[in-house]
Amino acid sequence: MDAQLLPQDLVRPWRRATLVASAIAALELVLLVAGGAFLLAKPLAHLIRDHAKPAPTKAAHVTRTTAAKPIKAQAAPLAKPRPRSHVKVMVFNGNGQEGAAGSAASKLQSLGYTISGTANAKRQDYATTVVMYRPGFRAEGMRLAKDIGSKVVGPLDGFRTRALDGGDVAVIVGA
């Protein structure tokens, strides 16, 4: 006996073939987009990095009658720091580990610093320990950073002076 073919049986293989072809085309599109992103990522990253570098500044033209030696850029000299016992330090936990600020405060206290308090930082994703100082306490901030081995030191950034709870220097403990 011969099987009879109905009109809907003739349509189904085409519908299935269309769906398979569409799926293959979508997969090819995803692979092309990923390949293009992979090929453009490195040159684009270099372009962005180069664009972020500050442009060299042009020096003002000065006419001199005698040859002068070039002036070397130097950091401002540090004033003599106050004694450690006169420096109040506020310690913030910036790494999310419980007790990190307390243990850092104990270490600083053993070095002779006065601890004004401990608290959690607004963020908990600091990768390294940061030392920040109030205006007029640069020398103390630099010495404190040297005492704890931190290479990131700067003036208060993102903190108000009142957040230091009377402190002169802030330490944000990182990972």
Per-residue pLDDT of 65-78, as tens digits, reads 555 556 555 555 66
Q: What is the mean pLDDT of residues 144-163?
A: 85
What is the CA angle 57-63-67, rounded to 5? Answer: 100
CATH at 155? 3.30.70
Instruction: Tell me, yes or no, if the pTM score tops 0.75.
Output: no
Q: 99 with 158, same domain?
A: yes
Q: What is the pLDDT of residue 3?
A: 65
- What does each C-alpha distance from 126 to 73, 103, 117, 144, 164 come to in angstroms? 31, 17, 19, 18, 18
Q: 88 with 132, same domain?
A: yes
CA dist 75 and 13 (Å) reads 79
Q: Return all residues near 173 (Cβ < 8 A) that are at least 6 apart.
A: 91, 92, 93, 94, 95, 100, 101, 104, 126, 129
Beta strands 130-133; 88-93: pairing state: unpaired
Structural domain includes residue 159: yes
CA dist 132 and 156 (Å) reads 5
Domain of 104, in residue numbers: 84-173
CA dist 137 and 117 (Å) reads 18
CA dist 153 and 99 (Å) reads 23
Is residue 148 packed enough to be buried (19+ CB in 10 Å), middle (13-18) or exposed (0-12)? middle
Q: What is the pLDDT of residues 94-147, one digit of tens each?
A: 998 899 999 999 999 999 999 999 999 888 888 899 999 988 889 999 999 999
Q: What is the pLDDT of residues 4-50, one digit of tens each?
A: 766 666 556 677 888 889 999 999 999 999 988 888 887 777 777 77
Q: Is the pLDDT of residue 59 over 90?
A: no
Q: What is the pLDDT of residue 93?
A: 92
- Looking at the 3D structure of the chain, how many domains does it have? 2
